[in-house]
Amino acid sequence: MPLNSPAMTQNDSESDPRSQLTKIANPSQVFEKKAHIIQLIPGVTQTSSKRLKDVEVYVPIVYGTIAFWLGRKATETQSHRWTIYVRGATNEDLSGVIKKVVFQLHPSFNNPVRVVESPPFELSECGWGEFEIAISLHFHDDVGEKKLDLYHHLKLYTENEPGPQSTKKPVVVETYNEVVFPDPPEDFFSRIQNHPAVVVPRLPPTFKLPPAPIEDLHELKRGDTKNHPLSQWFINFSEADELLKLTAARQRVQAHIVKLRRQLSVMDELPPTVKMDSD
């Protein structure tokens, strides 16, 4: 945070319910990780493409910050260099779904609203204070959904490390999210059904989708973060027990919803006398 700006410290966010979801992975690693599922409301924006009922796709994403103490180069107003980012959970390119990302920094920064329109979706800054960063994900038009707003608390200091900070070991805070798109438009589904960053269900062989555009594999790899300079510090969420439980719960709920919808559909087709008998 620049000079003469009021810093928001970790203590200021203790009353925030989001902070209660934080899990310390290992105090010696100075890592924090969180896990959530975000389900969007289908049909909130108009799209010319027909929607696929009882179908959902989801995109595993990770957003977070990595902060390095500057050591001897640190000053009173420039103690850390940090990077905030949104990446694929397996470091795949997210630009097939996300059109741009808007980061809202503390108002004391010059140009506090930063727009990143191509991957990697990130920005780096120097400062001294901790504060909350608003992150807005804007999707491509054929996704048929409004923007998704997320919030992340920039953390520069760890409370579990004894002694002075290290310039070689950063403070890493990451959040895993599964962004669920229920009833996706056919055009969107057709375009991303083979995209490595998107998880899609199998449709019946008889189901016909619009022809999918030919994806440039080179372009897909260009936006990934597998060889990112900070990738050694990224947290691996793929084997986390809590994430497996979240995925399994989401699948059970979706299957139950589909079952109930089918039962209601059958009931609607029955004659009134049969409905009364079944009651």
Alpha carbon distance 20, 40 (integer Å): 23
On the question of pLDDT at 248 being above 80, the answer is: no
Structure confidence by residue, pLDDT tens digits, 71-85: 999 999 999 999 999
Write out the DSSP string of 106-169.
-TTSSS-EEEE-SSSEEEEEEES---EEEEEEEE-GGG----EEEEEE-----SS--SS--SSS
DSSP reduced 3-state for 258: helix
Alpha carbon distance 132, 82 (integer Å): 13
pLDDT at residue 253, rounded to an integer: 79
DSSP secondary structure code for residue 13 in this structure: G
- Of residues 142 and 239, which shows the higher confidence score? 142
What proportion of the chain, given as a percentage, has pLDDT over 70?
70
Q: Which amino acid is at 20?
A: Q
Contact 52, 188 (CB under 8 A): no
CA distances in angstroms from 172 to 24, 233, 278, listed in the order given: 11, 7, 58
Structure confidence by residue, pLDDT tens digits, 62-73: 999 999 999 999
